[in-house]
């Protein structure tokens, strides 16, 4: 379990992203990272350990951009290290990816990319996504993400930015939670709605297979067939304190009594109720070559 947070709008992104990660730190604290569109390019900063370590490093040279994505990690593939922390990037450092979940066929995809001469910086399954996007990118990030989705197998949530498309975040989910925070002049992205409540109470929950194209001026949601769909916004009527201690005197008590709900939430969206099997996205036999055609 890891945490994704994203922001695009008129405000400085750095502080919003770091604060979002602090509210998601329960989802992972092996390492953290942030990337921001800045001065016509991108700037990425990572740090081992808790969010405060990332915050201190970022504050040494503050970021000035107004759009970015961030991640707090609980290690699955690869040991906790700066190299394995998110965001991950392609060879040219134009595409940046943060990811929750598991890419089941990443070893097959990694071998195919290495055979094409791609060198990997990390031991993670996530880096595969960045290099795949670079293979498919033809000037439109959304189109590239849709093509990458065709070859991924597993349960995951992904958010991506490109250096040449400032202000734009493209996100996709299958079997791992992702929610969009909607406001008049800014929009957000998070693994958990509670991390966004200081900014907005209007949210859009993505369903499995849906892609979100997020810009400061609006959010578009697309079906797995690339057809735009109209998603109803939902209003959150509870506050942050309700999400934190929920009326219990101590966090320990809250954790004890919420165990049944926690288990239920952890498998929600991942189980096919009729059969009891775990949900996973499985492409056809072909991999990268078929998606490029």
> CATH number, domain at 92?
3.60.20.10
Rounded to two decimals, the pTM is 0.84
For residue 205, is it within any domain?
yes
3-state secondary structure of 2: coil
Q: Kindly calculate the radius of gyration of the chain based on its CA atoms and give it in whole angstroms.
A: 18
For residue 180, is it within any domain?
yes
The total number of structural domains in the chain stands at 1
Query: Domain span at residue 189?
Result: 3-239+282-292
Task: Please report, for residues 6, 102, 262, 273, the alpha-carbon distance to residue 276 in angstroms, rounded to integers and kept in the order given.
Answer: 33, 20, 18, 5
CA distance 225 to 112: 26
For residue 194, is it within any domain?
yes
Report whether 239 contacts 197 (CB < 8 A): yes
For residue 38, is it within any domain?
yes
pLDDT in tens, the chain (293 residues): 678 999 999 999 999 999 999 888 776 568 899 999 998 899 999 998 888 999 999 999 999 999 999 998 766 655 667 778 889 999 999 999 999 888 999 999 999 999 999 999 998 889 999 999 999 999 999 999 999 999 999 889 999 999 999 999 999 998 888 999 999 899 999 998 888 988 999 999 999 899 999 999 999 999 998 999 999 999 988 666 655 555 567 667 777 887 887 676 566 556 666 777 776 655 544 456 655 55
Burial class of residue 81, CB neighbours in 10 A (0-12, 13-18, 19+): middle
């Amino acid at each position: 379990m890891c945490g994704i947070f994203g922001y695009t709008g008129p405000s400085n992104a750095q502080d919003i992203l770091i604060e979002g990660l602090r509210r998601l730190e329960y989802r992972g604290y092996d390492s953290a990272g942030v990337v921001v569109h800045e001065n016509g390019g991108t700037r990425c900063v990572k740090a081992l350990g808790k969010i405060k370590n990332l915050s201190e490093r970022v504050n040494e040279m503050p970021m000035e951009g107004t759009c970015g994505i961030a991640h707090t990690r609980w290690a699955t593939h690869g040991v906790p290290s700066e190299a394995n922390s998110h965001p991950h990037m392609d060879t040219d450092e134009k595409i940046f990816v943060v990811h929750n979940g598991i890419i089941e066929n990443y070893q097959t995809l990694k071998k195919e990319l290495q055979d094409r001469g791609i060198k990997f910086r990390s031991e993670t399954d996530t880096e595969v996504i960045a290099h795949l996007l670079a293979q498919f990118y033809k000037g439109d990030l959304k189109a590239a993400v849709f093509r990458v989705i065709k070859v991924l197998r597993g349960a995951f949530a992904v958010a991506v930015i490109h250096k040449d498309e400032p202000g734009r975040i493209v996100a996709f989910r299958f079997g791992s939670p992702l929610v969009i925070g909607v406001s008049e002049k800014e929009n957000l992205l998070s693994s958990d709605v509670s991390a966004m409540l200081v900014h907005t109470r209007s949210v859009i929950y993505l369903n499995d297979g849906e892609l979100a194209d997020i810009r400061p001026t609006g959010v578009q949601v697309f079906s797995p067939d690339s057809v735009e769909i109209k998603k109803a916004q939902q209003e959150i009527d509870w506050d942050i304190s309700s999400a934190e201690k929920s009326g219990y005197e101590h966090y320990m008590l809250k954790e004890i009594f919420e165990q049944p709900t926690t288990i239920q939430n952890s498998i929600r969206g991942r189980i096919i109720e009729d059969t009891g099997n775990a949900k996973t996205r499985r492409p056809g036999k072909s991999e990268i070559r078929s998606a490029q055609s």
